[in-house]
Structures are given as structure tokens and as C-alpha cells.
Structure 1
């Protein structure tokens, strides 16, 4: 992968110099390589990825908990079908369900009709998980699947007025169970930058990307979420409280655990870097 570092707002007084990090695939690489390195798609064409606090479930370590089973019991009549994108038609009825969800959840400006249509026609959506109750469709989850190594649970739309107020959690739990049974390696659930997103951690096998490795430590994630509610003057690895946590390790270990390597740019015949002027 090639990486680009796009500067964000610096805090020069405290020597904090943040960058947004974008990844671009090279020959022989697939999106699975970017996901495994902690990136998520930054565009729906899968041509650019961004590094983030990413959550996934290691499906080899997943086993349904009593809470997971309780969620599934709330939908005894709900069935899920995995449909390839080419076989899924965004009919007016399906678009209307998605539109109602967006408008009720985020407001009319949450997603335009054009953007909604493009979601179901872009490479980032390879499949749609269709949820039915009887003959009625009650929800859709857009997915990106790659071989049997990864599934990415991207967008979910469902009937917010459904009698099952936990329908969204039922859909996600169903997806975790489905891909675990099918032998997939990981199910990616998006980011976690607020405590309200901790519902994504309710699965054994949960991991999050902390900047250098995939951590299984939920206490570490909660520490980071609590920390960001204040105004920290140091970046994470300079925070004494973080370095003293149960998850702490020496910097040489962290550096060795990181999969990122720096390589010098190629030189032209004059000895200058081969970058365009």
C-alpha cells in the first residue's frame, strides 16, 4: 500500500501534529489488505482507504453469548437472505423504506437520493442482507464481502416503527452469526468514536485497531473514549495514564507489532527523489 498523510489541525503549543492517513492499494493487493491494516473505505469505489479506530469481530473466537441469544429470540419470525448486489433491485418500495429510516434517524439531509442510489450500485456494496418477516421486507444491510476472509457491515436500513425496538441489533447479531457459520475470518463493523457506538462490542472476538495493532482489550477502548471527552494535551502514547494501563507495553514492542514500514522513495539518475515537480 501507498500512504498519503494529510495534515489536520495542529496543536503546536503541545507538539501534537495530527494527520489523516490515506491508503492506496498497489498491484497484487486487495481491499482485504487495507482492512487488515486498520483501514476502512474512504470512497465507495474502493480506491482509497482511511486509517481509523476500526472495530471487527474475529469470527474464529466468536461464540454467541446469553445476550446475543436473547437479541435473536426477539425476532423468531425474522429471516435473512444474502443477495448479490447484481440480483438486488432498489425498487421504489425498498427505496422508500431506506428513505424513511434516513429521514427519521438523521433528518432529510442525512443522505440524498442520489447518494442512496449510488450506495447500492458501488463496488463497496457487493451484497445486501435482506431481512423479512413473513412476506414483508423490514430491513437491509449493505455488505462488502471478499472471498471468505472478510465481511464489512457497511450501512443498515430498517423499519424504525417495527414492534421489535432492537431490530438494528438483531440484524447485526444475525450477520455475525451468519458469517461465523460460513467460515469467514472477520466481520468489520465500522468505527467507534463515541460511547454510543459501544453496542458494536457486544460480541466475543471483538477487536479494535488502536493505531499499531488489533487490541482485544475493551477496557483500553473505554479508556480512550473517556479520555477524548476532555481536552488531552498529549497524543495517546505520551499519556502517562494510558502507558500505565493494563494493556501497556514498551515502545519497542509496539513498534515491532506495527505492520507499517517506511521505505525511501526511488531515486532518479541525478540522485534526486523521483517525485514530480
Structure 2
């Protein structure tokens, strides 16, 4: 991959001069390669990626926890079907369903119809997971996914019935997707970023990991420490200059962390 560094707002007082890191795939690389390196797609075309604190489940380690089973029991008789993008018809009814969800749940007024149509028609959506009630065939939710056979599934946008907000339907859909991926022999399920307490629900799965800028980590304590660096003195300076953080979460030292890094200059 090729990298570009896009300058962000500096903090002269603490000698912090940040750059957003963009990756562009080279010949022979696939999206699964960039996902594994800590990048997520920027947009729908899979031609540019950004480095971030994103999350995944190592599916060979996945097994339903008591919390997962509790969520699954709340929605008996709801089945998940995976269909290819080409076989998913974005009817006016389905379009209205998804738009209604985004207007209810997304900040800033939801997603435009044009953007939604682009999402369902673009390379980032190779498959759609359809959640359907067996008793009457009613569709309760959809998830747009990028799937690379055997290697990765990126769980991108989820849409579900606003009638059931607050009833764990979203958690049910994600848990069911993890089960399905494990059965399909997929190596990793990617779940997007974790930059707030509200995203900690992604840690509920056995096999959970997050990318910390150097490597994939399975330490929930480390993740919570990162979330706690949101302001004040705790958020000043570079993370790796924080001696307390290094002592707790990098006891092997910076030299060992650098030696293990997959990034090279």
C-alpha cells in the first residue's frame, strides 16, 4: 500500500503535530489486506482507506457468551439470510425503511437518498444481510457488508425497524452476524471504530480486538484507558509519551513495539 499523510490541527503548546494517515492499495492487495493493517474504507469505492482505532472479532476464538445468548433469546424466530449485492433489490419500500431509520438514529438529519442508493450499489457492499421474521416473512433489518471469502467481513451500515429501537434488535443482528461468519469459516469480522463509551458494546464478543496504532490488542482495560484520554492533562501530548500508559500497556518497551510494527519507512 501507499500512504499519504494529511495534516490536521496542531497543538504547538504540547508539540503535537498530527497527520491523518491515508492508504491506497497497490496491485495485488485486497481490502482484507488493508483491514488487517488497521485501515477502514473511506467512502464506498474501496480506493482509499484511513488508519483508525477500529475493532474486530477473531472468529476462531468466538463462542457465544451468556450475554450473547441472552440477546439471541430476545428474538426467537428471526432468521438471517446473506444475499449478494446483485441479488438484493433496493425497492422503494426497502429504501423508505432505511431512510426512516437514518432519520431517526443518525445525527445531522440522516442519510440522503442518493448516498443510500450509492451505498447499496458500490463495491463496499458485496452482500446484504437480511433479517426476517419467520412467522410472517416481515423484514426487520438489513446490514450492508463487504465480504472477502475466508478472510474478512466488514459489518458496515445496519438499518432496522424503528418500532423496535431499545429492544436489542441491533445487538441481535450483530451477534447473529458473528455466528454466521464463524460458521462460514471467515477469519475476521470487522465492526468499525471505537472512540466513545457508547461503542463499547462491540467488546461483548469472545475474540474481540482493537487496533491501537501499533498492533491488534485484546485488552479491554487498554481500550478503556484510551477512551479516558478525552481531555485535560490526560489527553495532552502523544500517547506513547505517557509513561504511565506505557508502564501499564507496553511493559515490553517501545523498542519491542517498534520491532513488531508492520509499518516500515
Q: What secondary structure, in the 3-state scheme, does the structure 2 residue paired with 1:60 have?
A: helix
Q: Which moved more, 1:108-117 or 1:218-227?
A: 108-117
Aligned to 1:97: 97
Runs of 4+ in 1 over 4 A off after TM superposition: none
Aligned to 2:45: 45
TM-score of the pair, normalised by structure 1 = 0.92
* Residues 1:229 and 1:131: Cα distance change in structure 2 (over 3 Å): farther
How far apart are residue 108 of structure 1 and its match?
Answer: 6.8
Kindly indicate which of the two structures has a greater share of residues assigned to helix. Answer: 2
Alpha-carbon contact 2:104-2:110 (below 8 Å) kept: no
Q: Does 1:13 align with 2:13?
A: yes
Q: Could you tell me how far apart the structure 1 residues matched to 2:73 and 2:33 are?
A: 36
Q: Could you tell me how far apart the structure 2 residues matched to 1:76 and 1:23 are?
A: 42
Higher CA-based Rg: 1
Q: What secondary structure, in the 3-state scheme, does the structure 1 residue paired with 2:33 have?
A: helix
Q: Could you tell me how far apart the structure 2 residues matched to 1:99 and 1:44 are?
A: 18
Alpha-carbon contact 1:58-1:205 (below 8 Å) kept: yes
Q: What secondary structure, in the 3-state scheme, does the structure 2 residue paired with 1:245 have?
A: helix
What 5-or-longer segments of structure 2 have no aligned partner? none
Q: Does 1:248 align with 2:251?
A: yes
Q: Could you tell me how far apart the structure 2 residues matched to 1:163 and 1:97 are?
A: 14
Aligned to 1:239: 242
Q: Could you tell me how far apart the structure 2 residues matched to 1:169 and 1:131 are?
A: 12
Equivalent residues in 2 for 1:208-247, closer than 5 Å: 208-230=210-232, 232-247=235-250
How far apart are residue 244 of structure 1 and its match?
Answer: 1.9
Equivalent residues in 2 for 1:1-277, closer than 5 Å: 1-106=1-106, 109-134=109-134, 135-162=137-164, 165-230=167-232, 232-262=235-265
How far apart are residue 43 of structure 1 and its match?
Answer: 1.8
Alpha-carbon contact 2:58-2:209 (below 8 Å) kept: yes
**CA RMSD, 1 decimal:** 1.3
Q: Which digits, 9 at most, give the CA deviation of each residue in 1:128-176, with x for residues without a partner?
A: 0000013100100000001110000000000021287100000000000
- Alignment: residue pair count: 262
How far apart are residue 233 of structure 1 and its match?
Answer: 1.7
Q: What secondary structure, in the 3-state scheme, does the structure 2 residue paired with 1:16 have?
A: coil
Q: What secondary structure, in the 3-state scheme, does the structure 2 residue paired with 1:23 have?
A: strand
* Residues 1:179 and 1:19: Cα distance change in structure 2 (over 3 Å): same
